[in-house]
Chain A
């Protein structure tokens, strides 16, 4: 029975090839001294969360810096993104190369100039669902959804708020040590500490909450 026998493998996506030693400063952020319930966080995040929570989609630009301990230099990239709630994530890298990646719960598709260049079904990319769900909730600041998989922390500073996430799930914890999101009117930065000491920093600009998706955008996720 294929379904059953193979399910074990799903974990693979999340646990990936996690390096062995945990990072020393992974949870150093002061936010982790302030555990919070999803409800309290809503108050803390204020208008930022409310605007995003009601949106059908969030569009914006990102710049990303990944520091991987196995690589000699950080990977720096930038581009734009579109997170369509419950539909999928479009991650369009423009620099240093042009690559449009669409993640939906069903498939991972790479587009070149609008045309489909490569497609992998959820069937062959186990864990796609989990990754898509986490990113979807993360970018939309969906605190109840995040609370399903993470323990939440929150802190209000002078310039804005900070939200801390620690995975509750063992498999997720094998990969992610913690996530820190900070912002004021809107989330501005996501800092992802991986268990092996790798870290990914994503900075957002020009975010817009969209009430509906256009037909063209919808089609993009097909």
Chain B
């Protein structure tokens, strides 16, 4: 096949493929393309324990649906009125499944009714302790207190039916933590301390679906906005706590940044292309190449991952920054032979360099995907496919469709870059050894000062306003759930409850030592069948026997013997214990439902025990010692550990990339030149690290990922500027434009409010500058490289 025929064949095959892709995208994908906004979805799963991961997913989903709002004003009536309007506004949105303001006054009675048939097997933890320890005095003191003193107003069972308040104490024990809230006028109220105290009213909301599905956010966000506005209009302020606000903020920020950065970049791109090539055709073709790349990338990601992460989209801009280079390289070739150039001429000359550059980028992204980091894999795949798409367009379409620019423009640009080329060579050859030594010393000093950080905070957008709200809610409620919790797993619901009870015993002793403020476990409201049987036995032995505590105390209160005998006879009239299934079906389970994960598949039952005011992690870990069903989950530490591990993996990948690239370059150019070509990229990577070190920026996993991008980009500049056969104004123009566009793309990312996008943008910007400068400098170092090239 002649070259011309080959060009034609490529053109038609590629055009057909693109047509197919576009049809597929328009028909299949575009209507149901979904974006993921959960930042944690970027992180790798802990693959060592799939059951745990499944259980944690379920817990996180349940937790993520809940939100708490405090509507505050200077007086209670205003706060209450505003809270009502706030709640009503949320209720009118289908995004919220449940919005609670008023408290059901009959609820405790309902709960008492649910437990009453099982009361002969129910005991509070402390009453059980007294009975087990034979501490009758304490039990009686509690009973008297609940009859005579103001504490009587807190008792939850009748004095006649339950003189010892054993059932009442159990009911009080099942009431989960209420923090500082008190009930007032049917709503939950808390007042800040101080002279001009603010009165807060609590509103609780449950989302219909996961907070992080964008569809939900789209529905929830306007409802939240409207509710906040309604409360403000009623003279109150609102503070919220819950994932939804963060999800909405992250999504808005992401979309805002995608739009802002995208449009600024597009403008820059259009301006530069028009300025250089003065051709609408080149602009259109470049846009087509980019478009095909992005659509191909979206399509593949959609099929492989199900959902495209919104941060992958932010990376679109960096894909564009690299993919546009191929168009530029191709079109800039016309300035090699201004006036005589034909589009097809460029292919044999610049084609291999573009191919090499694409190959190197692909490899560098592919290496990025080696790390089992889902977010990175998606970004890597997205970029690989995108680059391939753009490369295909350039190779297939450009030889046929590009027209040379007007001769005058070509002449002028060619002259300009010719002068620039001369200047570059003069500058570099007049360098002094001292300058280089100082630079190396500075780099070494910078590298010496490099610090690392693996904190989870690098993942979260900086939203001080939301953090302030969270803090206010926490401060007012006086109860915050720790990010550490226990996951309990067992082969049956009964075994699960028994394991929880074993754990509770240890947690109780931690509480007694002041190492834990409180904890919340399902088994508090639902004792295991085993525990219920034990309780029954205890009650039968020391309370309801003829000489037991109950007849003694009833006599003290003046009950007639007949009444006492009747009460004793009523004990233990053969009611089966309360089972998990029965309990779960009642409203009594409501406050605990989020802790009960139930059957998580594979015949495993799971539940969560949450902690509040917990101390040292090591102490908590000892609480799980010897209990194989219990594991302590520390999400913050997990994420930190993951980030730390992958930071070091990513560093190794960068190092591996250097060697792999040198070998890859050695195939066409020889080992020596391969190594030489890697000098500038390595210098750029080290230099970027050194700059971060000198500026005192702590290096995170994401900085290292950025270094990887620096390596790939710098290799392009090195290939263009250092290969003698490509030397000339046209390649200098190509490299300059490429670096400029990459700088625009990543410089914009440096303005992102999401810390890790900012890190990547900043690092790559520094690296691109350094890589371009080093490639330009090394490109004119004469002597050996030139003698080799002339072989």
Contact = CB atoms under 8 A, between A and B. Distances in A.
Interface of A: 1-19, 64, 66, 68, 70-73, 75, 77, 89, 91, 93, 97, 99, 101, 103, 105, 108, 110, 112, 117-118, 120-131, 133, 135, 148-149, 168-171, 174-175
B668 interface: no
A123 B557 contact: no
- Please report whether the interface of chain A is mostly helix, strand, loop or mixed according to DSSP: mixed
Given A70-B158, A73-B557, A6 B147 contact: no
Contacts of A6: 175-178, 520, 591
Contacts of A12: 107-108, 111, 156, 171-172, 175
Contacts of A17: 109, 112, 155-158, 168
Given A6-B178, A9-B591, A68 B159 contact: yes
Contacts of B520: 2, 6
A63 to B, nearest CB: 12
A3 B481 contact: yes
Contact of A126 (B145, B149, B150, B175): B175
B242 A1 contact: yes
B105 A174 contact: yes
A127 B154 contact: yes
Contact of B592 (A5, A64, A70, A123): A5
B518 interface: yes
Contact of A9 (B178, B202, B242, B479): B178
Which of B185, B479, B558, B594 counts the most chain A CB atoms within 10 A?
Answer: B185
Interface in B146-200: 147-161, 168, 171-173, 175-186, 188
Interface stretch (B136-144, B337-345, B534-542): B136-144
B591 A66 contact: no
Nearest to A134: B153
A89 to B, nearest CB: 7
A75 to B, nearest CB: 6
B590 A8 contact: yes
B37 interface: no
Nearest to B140: A97
A9 B176 contact: yes
B158 A101 contact: no
A3 B151 contact: no
Given A93-B149, A110-B141, A170-B186, A7 B154 contact: no
B176 A101 contact: no
A5 B594 contact: yes
Q: Closest 5 interchain pairs by CB?
A: A70-B160, A6-B176, A12-B108, A1-B66, A129-B182
Given A5-B594, A72-B563, 10 more contacts: A1-B66, A3-B179, A8-B591, A11-B105, A11-B107, A101-B145, A103-B150, A122-B179, A124-B173, A148-B76
Contact of A11 (B104, B144, B481): B104
A122 B183 CA distance: 13
B491 to A, nearest CB: 27
B182 A2 contact: no
Contacts of B144: 97, 99
Most chain-B CB neighbours within 10 Å: which of A71, A91, A168? Answer: A71
Contacts, number: 220
Interface of B: 63, 66-68, 76, 100, 103-109, 111-112, 126, 138, 141-142, 144-145, 147-161, 168, 171-173, 175-186, 188, 202, 204, 242, 477, 479, 481, 517-518, 520, 557-560, 563, 590-594, 610, 612
Contacts of A9: 107-108, 111, 175-176, 178, 591
A72 B184 contact: no
Contacts of B107: 8-9, 11-12
| Residue among B145, B147, B153 having the largest count of chain A Cβ atoms under 10 Å | B153
A71 B159 contact: yes
Contact of B103 (A11, A73, A93): A11
A132 B138 CA distance: 23
A131 B202 contact: no
A3 B451 CA distance: 39
B263 to A, nearest CB: 39
A61 to B, nearest CB: 15
B68 A169 contact: no
B104 A8 contact: yes
A3 B475 CA distance: 13
A149 B187 CA distance: 12
Contact of A127 (B68, B138, B183, B186): B183
B150 A130 contact: no
Contacts of B156: 12-13, 16-17
Contacts of A71: 159-160, 557-559
Contact of A117 (B76, B138, B150, B157): B138
A64 B103 CA distance: 32
Contact of B183 (A91, A123, A130): A130
A114 B147 CA distance: 22
A142 to B, nearest CB: 14
Contacts of A121: 518
Contacts of B168: 17
Given A5-B593, A169-B183, A13 B161 contact: no
A122 B151 contact: no
A7 B177 CA distance: 8
Contact of B182 (A3, A10, A15): A10
A204 to B, nearest CB: 14
Contact of A168 (B106, B108, B183, B185): B185
B106 A15 contact: yes
Given A1-B63, A7-B103, A8-B591, A66 B186 contact: no
Contacts of B183: 10-11, 13-14, 127, 130, 169, 171
